């Protein structure tokens, strides 16, 4: 068990044993239309005062197939602190930490959220995140004794800037969201042989007591070398307790 997995287990145990009033369990599945990839995420989150803590476990099938030969697709630990400045402005400071086979990514971030008095349920937010990927490696095909085989190749540590804008609106039991992300990599390509990329995502959620099913639709890239984009569809369910 690696270091992040041990921390994840400890955090999950803490969340399960601490008496709190704002915990949630979220299960989400996604499908990417062009690359034909399925992936699933399970997330346990909690708020303890102004501190927000969550742990994610990610899974995918072999070659991205639907629920077939599932394997670990990474873990993520989220640590955030929320500071309410007044009735309108809220600042959130955080440090998500993600672990995958290719390395660990540290994601220091800061988010500002403004809630409108004039339009009930409407809020805008902006976030800056700096992705620092360490101990990076990638899978490559090498020549073995019995022919070509899979191996790993070390890659220099990677740095990426991310700016996110959100528009959220709540109306009765409905929750609507729009998110736009812009990425800028430091010294490597991430989309269409360039060091910039973007993503767009819309979401609809319906709250039924402790349960909240939702769907999301996103416009995402498929490769660092091509301009091809694809539809990412997500369906999920959140249980609050």
How far apart CA 133 and CA 188 sit, in angstroms, is 13
pLDDT at 100: 87
What are the φ and ψ backbone dihedral angles of 18, each rounded to 5 degrees? -95, 135
Tens of pLDDT along the chain (241 residues) come to 554 455 455 555 555 554 445 899 999 999 999 999 999 999 999 999 999 999 999 999 888 888 888 888 999 999 999 999 999 999 999 999 999 877 899 999 999 999 999 999 999 999 999 999 987 666 656 666 776 766 666 667 899 999 999 999 999 999 999 999 999 999 999 999 999 999 999 999 999 999 999 999 999 999 999 999 999 999 999 999 9
pLDDT at 88: 97
pLDDT at 154: 67
pLDDT at 139: 61
pLDDT at 180: 98
Q: Does residue 40 contact residue 60 with C-beta atoms inside 8 Å? A: yes
How far apart CA 123 and CA 110 sit, in angstroms, is 17
Angstrom CA distances, 28 to 51, 92, 214, 218, 237, stand at 24, 24, 9, 14, 7
pLDDT at 211: 98
């Amino acid at each position: 068990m690696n270091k992040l997995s041990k921390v994840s287990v400890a955090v999950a145990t803490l969340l399960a044993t601490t008496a709190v009033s704002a915990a949630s369990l979220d299960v989400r599945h996604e499908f990417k239309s062009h690359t034909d990839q399925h992936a699933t995420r399970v997330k346990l989150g909690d708020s303890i005062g102004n501190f927000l803590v969550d742990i994610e476990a990610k899974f995918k099938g072999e070659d991205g197939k639907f629920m077939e030969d599932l394997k670990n697709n990474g873990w993520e630990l989220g640590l955030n602190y929320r500071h309410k400045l007044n009735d309108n402005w809220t600042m959130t400071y955080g440090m998500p930490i993600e672990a995958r086979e290719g390395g660990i990514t540290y994601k220091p971030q800061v988010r500002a959220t403004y809630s409108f008095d004039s339009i009930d349920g409407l809020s805008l937010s902006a976030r800056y995140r700096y992705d620092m990927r360490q101990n990076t490696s990638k899978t490559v095909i090498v020549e073995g004794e019995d022919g070509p085989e899979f191996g790993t190749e070390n890659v220099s540590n990677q740095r990426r800037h991310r700016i996110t804008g959100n528009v959220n609106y709540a109306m009765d039991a409905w929750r609507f969201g729009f998110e736009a992300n812009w990425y800028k990599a430091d010294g490597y390509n991430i989309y269409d042989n360039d060091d910039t990329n973007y993503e767009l995502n819309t979401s609809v959620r319906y709250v039924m007591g402790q349960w909240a099913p939702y769907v999301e639709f996103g416009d995402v890239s498929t490769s660092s070398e091509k301009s091809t984009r694809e539809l990412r569809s997500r369906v999920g369910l959140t249980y609050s307790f």
